[in-house]
Amino acid sequence: MTSAAPDAPAATACPATSDLVHAARREPVGRTPVWFMRQAGRSLPEYRAVREGIPMLESCRRPDLVTEITLQPVRRHGVDAAIFFSDIVVPLAAVGVDLDIVPGTGPVVARPFRTRADLDRLPELTPDHVPDITEAVRLLVAELGETPLIGFSGAPFTLASYLVEGGPSRNHEHTKSLMHGDPQLWNDLCERLAQISGMFLRVQASAGASVVQLFDSWVGALPVSDYVRFVQPHSAVALAAVADLGVPRIHFGVGTGELLPAMGAAGAEVVGVDFRVSLTDAVARLGPAYAVQGNLDPALLFAPWDVIEARVREIVAEGIAAPGHIFNLGHGVLPEVDPDVLTRITALVHEISVR
Active site residues: 38, 42, 51, 87, 162
Strand partners, 44: none
Q: Is 23 helix (H, G, I), strand (E, B) or coil?
A: helix
Strand partners, 216: 253
The rounded distance, in Å, linking the Cα atoms of 321 and 267 is: 22
CB 190 within 8 A of CB 234: yes
Which pairs from 45-49 meet CB under 8 Å and 24+ separation? 45/339, 46/72, 46/76, 47/72
CB 299 within 8 A of CB 334: yes
The rounded distance, in Å, linking the Cα atoms of 73 and 9 is: 33
Strand partners, 294: 327
CB 18 within 8 A of CB 210: yes
